[in-house]
Amino acid sequence: MSRTRVVVTGLGTTSPLGGDVASTWEGLLAGRSGVRHLTEEWAADLPVKIAGRIAVEPTDVLERVKARRLDRSAQFALVAAMEAWRDAGLENAVQDHGLDGDRVGVAMASGIGGVTTLLDNYDTLKAKGPRRVSPLAVPMLMANAAAANISLYVGARGAVNTPISACASGNEGIAMAIDQIRLGRADVVVAGGTEAAIHPLPMAAFANMMALSKNDGDPSTVSRPWDTARDGFVLGEGAGVLVLESLEHAQARGARIYAEVLGAGITADSHDIAQPDPEGRGGSRAILRALAESDIDPSAIKHVNAHATSTPLGDIAEGLMLHATLGAGIDDVVVTSTKSMTGHLLGGAGALEAVATVMALHERVSPPTINLDDKDPKVDLDIATTARPLPQGDIAALNNSFGFGGANVAVAFGSF
């Protein structure tokens, strides 16, 4: 594989904090929570009645007919991809830049895919019979629906992929995009992740396996990574998208560059289907591989957007990983968990957090972690509890994602 330099030229998101990057970033820096009470009738009997609902409904952005043909997860993905594509200056790419669709790819991930379409159509089948099942159900519920619809929007005729690795999926989409560019198969790849799983069945399932917090207090205070009172994650929804390009291609068209994507590491724990390795060995190997592929010294890392979901075991394991991989330099690293504000977007989490990591490097400021009132003494990290300046000069940052099945993905970004 070549050492082709890969850069970020476009960003897009729709999240519990805002319908675009600007509003989401403003909310993150302000330490504002997007977690709310669920007011739907179906939530009344659930053991958990809070979630990070999207701030701006995709039907407010997409054409009505188009939106009706997409699962909610694909709606999120398309909204974020449209913003990222415009942000990269590629809206009229064929006319203005002579962009070759054969050299454009998509790597859009999801942990679950079109689950709301699947479950809603099953309810229709039971209540009204097979003739009332939507003829669009399959193209809406298929896992690659988001990637396919983005490819139609941007005119991508290269590889259109959908990596699925639970909560590490969004970060894996970015890793796959790096590979496509460095293997010479694409000049531009639209990468990220999306999820829309705020539905009674997924919520009941996560709650019954003791993964979700059952704190029934103020919703904005429930997601509390690293705090001694943490008792599980808060489910969120949304999408994050990055436009990645080879540096040569981006410079040739005069693109604005946010940051450089230095490298990625992907590993598996082979420990347990749901619980992390308590020593964090698999995650440590992912971080070390990302550093090795990036060809940087651990001391270059000055910021980490941690996976830190607010689970008792996972938060401690990640702290061990960072100490094991960054060594003495860990004292100079500003760590944050933006899940404290957005909740956990599952397959969309790594991508939304990649957008936040890139913005942190670009703006030289780390978002805070909120609700950290009493830090667990087993976690020895410098965690930002207010927006914190990052150093000037050449620095790098890590974005970590870990998922059920023992999936670990770390992506290293560098200032540009």
Residues 339 and 396 in one domain: yes
> 3-state SS of the chain?
CCCCCEEEEEEEEEECCECCHHHHHHHHHHCCCCCEECCCHHHCCCCCCEEECCCCCHHHCCCHHHHHCCCHHHHHHHHHHHHHHHHCCCCCHHHHHCCCHHHEEEEEEECCCCHHHHHHHHHHHHHHCHHHCCCCHHHHHCCCHHHHHHHHHHCCCCCEECCCECECHHHHHHHHHHHHHHCCCCCEEEEEEEECCCCHHHHHHHHHCCCECCCCCCHHHCCCCCECCCCCECEECEEEEEEEEEHHHHHHCCCCCCEEEEEEEEEECCCCCCCCCCCCHHHHHHHHHHHHHHCCCHHHEEEEECCCCCCHHHHHHHHHHHHHHHHHHHHHCEEECCHHHHCECHHHHHHHHHHHHHHHHHHCEECCCCCCCCECCCCCCCECCCCEECCCCCCEEEEEEEECCCEEEEEEEECC
Do residues 353 and 389 both lie within one domain? yes
For the four alpha carbons of 265, 31, 340 and 382, in that order, the dihedral sign comes to positive
Q: Which of 199, 249, 303, 307 is catalytic?
A: 307
Angle (nearest 5°) at CA 166 between 68 and 310: 105
| Residue 323 annotated in active site | no
Whether 225 is covered by a domain: the verdict is yes
219 and 269 co-located in one domain: no
Domain boundary among 227, 252, 277: 252
Contact 9, 245 (CB under 8 A): yes
Predicted local confidence at residue 200, as pLDDT: 96
Q: Which domain holds residue 61?
A: 6-252
pLDDT at 92: 78
Whether 269 has a pLDDT exceeding 80, the answer reads yes
- For residues 193 and 329, membership in a common domain is answered with no
Q: What is the mean pLDDT of residues 247-254?
A: 96
CATH number of the domain enclosing 305:
3.40.47.10
Share of the chain above pLDDT 70, in %: 99
pLDDT at 95 (0 to 100)? 65
- 258 inside domain: no
Does pTM surpass 0.95? yes
Mean residue pLDDT across the chain: 97
Task: Tell me if 257 is assigned to some domain.
Answer: no
pLDDT tens-place string over residues 150-179 = 999 999 999 999 999 999 999 999 999 999
Q: Within this chain, do residues 228 and 104 fall inside the same structural domain, yes or no?
A: yes
Q: Report residue 55: phi and psi, to 5°.
A: -80, -35
Catalytic residue among 199, 249, 303, 344: 344
Q: Pick the closest to residue 365 from 327, 340, 397 (CA basis).
A: 397
Picking from 223, 252, 281, the residue at the C-terminal end of a domain is 252
Q: Which residue has the higher pLDDT, 96 or 90?
A: 90
Closest by Cα among 232, 246, 387 to 315: 232
Same domain, 66 and 103: yes
- Co-location of 93 and 240 in the same domain: yes
User: Is residue 32 one of the residues assigned to a domain?
Assistant: yes
Domain C-terminal end among 252, 275, 309: 252
232 and 301: one domain?
no
- Residue 94 is predicted with a pLDDT of 65
Which pLDDT score, from 0 to 100, does residue 222 have? 98
Tell which residue, 145, 171, 229, 235, has the closest CA to residue 198: 235
Please say whether the beta carbons of 264 and 293 come within 8 A: yes
Residues 200 and 348 in one domain: no
Examine residue 93 and state whether it is found in any structural domain, yes or no. yes
What average pLDDT does range 336-343 have in this prediction? Answer: 98
344 is catalytic: yes
The per-residue pLDDT for 86 is 97
Give Cα 111 to chain centroid, integer Å: 11
Which of the following is catalytic: 167, 199, 303, 362? 167
Per-residue model confidence (pLDDT) at position 262: 98
What phi, psi does 13 have (nearest 5°)? -160, 155
| Cβ-proximal residues to 125 (8 Å cutoff; 6+ apart), any chain | 132, 133
In a domain, 1, yes or no: no
Helix axes 349-363, 169-182, angle to 10 degrees: 70
* pLDDT average, residue stretch 255-276: 96
Distance CA 259, CA 396 (A): 9
* For residue 399, pLDDT beyond 80: yes
The answer to whether residue 259 is domain-embedded is no
pLDDT digits (tens, 9 = 90+) for 10-63: 999 999 999 999 999 999 999 999 999 999 999 999 999 999 999 999 999 999
In terms of domains, do 65 and 169 share one? yes
Q: Is position 66 within any domain?
A: yes
If asked whether residues 244 and 305 sit together in one domain, one would say: no
CA distance 325 to 340: 24
Among candidate residues 188, 38, 195, the one with its CA nearest the CA of residue 113: 195
Q: Is residue 146 located within the same domain as residue 287?
A: no
**pLDDT mean over 269-276:** 94
The per-residue pLDDT for range 220-231, each reduced to its tens digit, is: 999 999 999 999
**238-246/6-14 β-pairing:** antiparallel
The total number of structural domains that make up the chain: 2
How far is the C-alpha of 389 from the C-alpha of 173, rounded, in Å? 29
Cβ atoms of 242 and 174 closer than 8 Å: yes
pLDDT-derived band at 98 (thresholds 50, 70, 90) equals confident
User: Has residue 1 got a pLDDT over 90?
Assistant: no
Residue 163 contacts residue 107 (beta carbons within 8 Å): yes
CA-to-CA distance for 37 and 43, rounded, in angstroms? 9
Average pLDDT of the residues in 237-261: 97
Q: Quick one: pLDDT at residue 2?
A: 83
